[in-house]
Amino acid sequence: MTSTTRLTVAQALVRFLAAQYTERDGVRRRLIAATWGIFGHGNVAGLGQALVEYGHVMPYHQGRNEQSMVHAAVGYARQSNRLSTHAVTTSIGPGATNLVTGAALATVNHLPVLLLPGDAFATRPADPVLQQLEVPRAGDLSVNDCLRPVSAYFDRITRPEALIPAALQAMRVLTDPVDTGAVTLALPQDVQAEGFDWPEEFFTERTWTVRRPGADPVELAAAVRAIRAARRPLIVAGGGVHHSRAEEALARFAETTGIPVASTQAGKGSLRWDHPQDVGGIGHTGTATADELARTADLVIGVGTRYTDFTTASGTLFTGAGVRFLNLNIASYDGHKLSGLPLVADARGGLRALTEALTVHGHRVDPSYVTEYTQGKERWEQRVDACFAAGEPAVRPTQPQVIGALDAVVDESDIVVNAAGSLPGDLHKLWRTRSRDQYHLEYGYSCMGYEIPAAIGVKMAAPDRPVWALVGDGTYLMMPTEIVTAVQEGIAIKILLVQNHGYASIGGLSESVGGERFGTDYRFRSADGTYTGAPLPVDLAANAASLGMRVLRAKTVRDLRAALAEARDADTPTCVYVETESADTVSGAPPAQAWWDVPVAETATRASAVKAREEYDRHVSTRRRHL
Ligand SMILES: Cc1ncc(C[n+]2csc(CCOP(=O)(O)OP(=O)(O)O)c2C)c(N)n1
Ligand SMILES: [Mg+2]
């Protein structure tokens, strides 16, 4: 007879989670390293009690907002190469639905995170309980059903024994390099507290291998033929290069063949910025060099990329007459994009196989092509130097000068975390990435408010490294509250807070699409009813200080350099606050080198929109469908 242990569902789940491990390349790690939680009646007596009972095997962290707890877990997971993550427990109702944005962010970016929202009673003794959704048309709906479309896996545990298959499936998905994302186990509050006789085997240690599938020989042979036939090949390195830890393999492949490497937001840092074949970011926020190579490429070799609209300039970037795509991707879905030749495999293994096959043929691109991109890279680096140049040290800096000041104080150990606003574009064009994981941009969901909690998660995964959350004022106002958590836990993140009184990014976009910056500046209402009055007198530096951070205010480029150096050395959470040029002046960064499709009003009376539409139609006419 199998021996059993009587535990509640919540206790069993916590014990089970504490015994799960991942393994890749001979390294074994805890899969669920800790659990974040905010308690309410939907989880306090279930998971809350279980986390006290099993606190010795499952560390707990207190958060301030359910969404931001997911951001912290995602930051931790990405910094852990998806081999380790956190769980997040919430109450029912608003606590649970606050997870939706975080869940979408995790799933879009293929980053694992385990969500454990409480749910209404399975036994329905007294419907509706506090915060329960009631819909007359369906008795089995709960607000947690909102999490289904944004979860890579979803289950609701309405019977204790159902936890066994559900928990095993949840671990399978979390550790699957293709399917991973937010995994949700909704836990009715009565079921969480219910006792059950669990087979002991449920709690024995289990190791989940994070697989590295190899290339199919037929696909590999076709890929080699395509590369050998290409005269102007270009590699597009995506986030999959990092997830697979394929940076070295990519460098070998590039060096063997002479092919230049452009990168997406998720793939930046695949090569160090000063590697002679790194031509920088590609697409709407790309460098002139990479985008020019993209326009004239005859073979685009995507490695671990989803080809988002930013990368393809909404289908207008790859204009070479006979351009073809070769897509090395672990997901067949992405491998087949743009009618490309699929090479469905782990990025590292796939790149090694390609390098080996091409070495046999002694294949290299023409030296004139190498000269062309080398010169292009030099020209772009001069533009970056010019943007970073401090100019007059006593005046308020431009945003590129802020980035330049940070560039001047960091080394390869620093990590910069960012997600939304005008910083992602400027960073993609300008940042000089010094190590494989220095550039942590969440640009799959580009979620304002990711930065501060994610930096906490990153710092938990890399405690000895300086971790910088780069935030605009809009982003700061969206989600500053986890500063309290950083202070409470003594997690010495650094925040670089850029004040420009509103949404510089969307303001600029609005102007270019005939929207006249409507609703994008933070200003008082004027007599005419519009927000065109004086800037708002908010003091975000004082706000950060009130939450417990040390704050250094910088007015000029000279101050900023000193403040950043001081913050870098700090061993408590520290914020550097700087005001840049106001939102309605240009950032000083190089303009977009490629288009991005944001549809413009087809009919309008205002001249700005009519003109913008003419421009829009011109761009749309250049769109290419790759068939
Ligand atoms: C949660 C969320 N809401 C809305 C947006 C759309 N959006 C993108 S950038 C931005 C403004 C960001 O403002 P700020 O952080 O001040 O950066 P700035 O544009 O001034 O550089 C908005 C509203 C978003 N990305 N995320
Ligand atoms: Mg702003």
- Which CATH code for domain 390-501+536-579? 3.40.50.970
Beta pairing, strands 341-344 & 415-418:
unpaired
pTM (2 d.p.): 0.98
Question: Residue 584's pLDDT is what?
Answer: 53
Ligand 1 center to 454 CA (angstroms): 16
HSE-up (13 A, CA, CB side) for residue 112: 27
Question: Residue 569's pLDDT is what?
Answer: 97
Beta pairing, strands 27-30 & 32-37:
unpaired
Give me the percent of the chain exceeding a pLDDT of 70.
99
- pLDDT at 1 > cutoff 80: no
Torsions phi, psi for 244 (to 5 deg): -85, -5
Report how far residue 194's alpha carbon sits from residue 189's, in angstroms, rounded to the nearest whole number: 9
- Span of 308-312, 418-422, 529-533, 583-587 with lowest mean pLDDT: 583-587
Torsions phi, psi for 490 (to 5 deg): 65, 35
| Among 461, 488, 444, residue whose Cα is nearest residue 311 | 444
Q: Band the pLDDT of 356: cuts 50, 70, 90.
A: very high
Report how far residue 432's alpha carbon sits from residue 381's, in angstroms, rounded to the nearest whole number: 10
227: amino acid identity, one letter? I
- pLDDT at 52 > cutoff 60: yes
Helix, strand, or coil (residue 95):
helix
- 505 within ligand 1 shell (Cβ under 6 A): yes
DSSP string, 604-623: -SSHHHHHHHHHHHHHHTT-
Q: Band the pLDDT of 190: cuts 50, 70, 90.
A: very high
Q: Nearest residue CA, atom 8 of ligand 1?
A: 421
| Among 284, 219, 271, residue whose Cα is nearest residue 242 | 271
**Angstrom distances, CA of residue 243 to CA of 76, 86, 164, 389:** 13, 17, 29, 34
* Domain boundary assignment for the chain: 4-209, 217-379, 390-501+536-579
Q: Where are the alpha helices (DSSP H) in 195-265?
A: 217-229, 239-243, 247-257
Residue 473 Cα: closest atom of ligand 1:
16
Question: Residue 529's pLDDT is what?
Answer: 92
Question: Residue 582's pLDDT is what?
Answer: 60
Q: Band the pLDDT of 617: cuts 50, 70, 90.
A: very high
Question: Residue 392's pLDDT is what?
Answer: 72
What is the chain's mean pLDDT, rounded?
96
Helix, strand, or coil (residue 262):
strand
* Gyration radius from the chain CA atoms: 25
- Pick among 3.40.640.10, 3.40.605.10, 3.40.50.2000, 3.40.50.970: CATH of 4-209: 3.40.50.970
Q: Is 175 exposed, middle or buried (0-12, 13-18, 19+ CB in 10 A)?
A: buried
CB 4 within 8 A of CB 197: yes
What digits encode the pLDDT tens for the residues 164-178?
999 999 999 999 999
Ligand 1 center to 471 CA (angstroms): 10
Report how far residue 539's alpha carbon sits from residue 197's, in angstroms, rounded to the nearest whole number: 56
Torsions phi, psi for 302 (to 5 deg): -80, 130
Which of 71, 98, 398, 475, when mutated, tests ligand 1's pocket best, judged by the most ligand atoms within 8 Å of its CB?
Answer: 475
Report how far residue 272's alpha carbon sits from residue 456's, in angstroms, rounded to the nearest whole number: 25
519: left (phi over 0), alpha (psi -120 to 50) or beta: left
Question: Residue 235's pLDDT is what?
Answer: 99
- 347 within ligand 1 shell (Cβ under 6 A): no
3-state secondary structure 96-128: HHCCHHHHHHHHHCCCCEEEEEEECCCCCCCCC
Beta pairing, strands 20-24 & 27-30:
antiparallel
Question: Residue 612's pLDDT is what?
Answer: 96
Ligand 1 center to 602 CA (angstroms): 25
Omega of the bond leading into 128 within 30 degrees of 0 (cis): yes
Q: Band the pLDDT of 580: cuts 50, 70, 90.
A: very high
In angstroms, the first-to-last Cα distance of the chain is 61
Q: Band the pLDDT of 390: cuts 50, 70, 90.
A: confident
Mean pLDDT over 421-441 rounds to 98
CB count within 10 Å of CB 159 equals: 12
CATH topology for the 217-379 domain: Rossmann fold (3.40.50)
- pLDDT at 586 > cutoff 70: no
Helix, strand, or coil (residue 372):
helix
Q: Band the pLDDT of 415: cuts 50, 70, 90.
A: very high
Helix, strand, or coil (residue 235):
strand
Which of 285, 428, 448, when mutated, tests ligand 1's pocket best, judged by the most ligand atoms within 8 Å of its CB?
Answer: 448
- pLDDT at 585 > cutoff 70: no
Beta pairing, strands 550-554 & 494-499:
unpaired
What contacts 177, CB < 8 A, 6 or more positions away? 82, 210, 211, 243, 244, 330, 346
CB 585 within 8 A of CB 420: no
Tokens of 130: 């506090």
295: amino acid identity, one letter? R
Q: Nearest residue CA, atom 16 of ligand 1?
A: 474
DSSP string, 310-362: HHHTTTTS---TT-EEEEEESSHHHHTGGGPEEEES-HHHHHHHHHHHHHHHT
Q: Which residues surround ligand 2, an ion (CB under 5 A)?
A: 472-474, 500
| Matching fold, domains 4-209 and 217-379 | yes
Strand order of the sheet with strand 206-209?
A: 27-30, 20-24, 206-209
- 580 within ligand 1 shell (Cβ under 6 A): no
| Among 384, 385, 391, residue whose Cα is nearest residue 557 | 391
Helix, strand, or coil (residue 512):
helix
What digits encode the pLDDT tens for the residues 76-120?
999 999 999 999 999 999 999 999 999 999 999 999 999 999 999
Report how far residue 477's alpha carbon sits from residue 451's, in angstroms, rounded to the nearest whole number: 12
| Among 170, 219, 450, 476, residue whose Cα is nearest residue 327 | 219
Report how far residue 627's alpha carbon sits from residue 544's, in angstroms, rounded to the nearest whole number: 52
